[in-house]
Amino acid sequence: MKIGIVGSGLIGGLVGTLWSRAGHEVLFSSRHPEKLGGLVARAGGNARAGTLDEAIAFGDAILLSLPFGALPDFGRTMSEALGRKVVLDTSNPYPDRDGLMAEEVRQSERGTGPYLREWFPGVRIVRAFNSVWDQTLAKEAHRAPPRVGVPLASDDAEALEIAAGLVIDAGFDPVIVGPLDRSRDFDLGAPVYDTGMSGPEVREALGLPA
């Protein structure tokens, strides 16, 4: 699969590297793609660098790994370009970084999902890779089972299945939680957040089938 990485930082760079090494074609993006040479080299021969627009045009799937505060404007300006691509969003609302809008999301107790639905109308968006620390992802990818669980939520069943396959390819256990409204079950501050739980442990904690 062709995957565009929008936000090539700790999570985007790491997960994109895992996908490249698994055989996917990956395009890391930046406002300064010439600075991504080291990341591309570490990711291997299936990776290259480009601009944000190039990554969105390139990918059949997009990993969106931007600060949460950037998402409303990004959704408003880029939802048409994203079209029907599967978009995996990794962001978390940190009030000290993202300001009052992040505080509003957290105090609403609705979770991030309803906001993403509003900000990205018509986009096949999936909450993914937001609940596991980047250092845990780096250390535990492709470990012997039971693998680290990566919860997923989306209103699009096919997008969930595609995302689940990509989680497996990255070396983890996909845990399909349900629609976007259920992303609150693994958002920042939820009991399973940043625990490093295995997939079976996450399913048990969230009352999901084994």
> Distance between CA 49 and CA 155 in Å, rounded?
31
Do residues 19 and 3 touch, judged by C-beta distance below 8 A? yes
pLDDT per residue as tens digits for the range 5-41: 999 999 999 999 999 999 999 999 999 999 999 999 9
For the chain, the structural domain boundaries read: 2-205
pTM: 0.97
Q: What is the CATH architecture assignment of 2-205?
A: 3-Layer(aba) Sandwich (3.40)
Q: How far apart are CA 89 and CA 18, in angstroms?
A: 17
The candidate with the shortest Cα–Cα distance to 2, out of 45, 51, 50, 55, is 55
As a whole number of angstroms, the distance between CA 167 and CA 149 comes to 9
| pLDDT < 70: residue spans in the chain | none
For residue 45, the model assigns a pLDDT of 85
Per-residue confidence (pLDDT) for residue 139, from 0 to 100: 98
How much is the pLDDT for 52? 96
Q: CA-CA distance, 152 to 176, in Å (whole number)?
A: 5
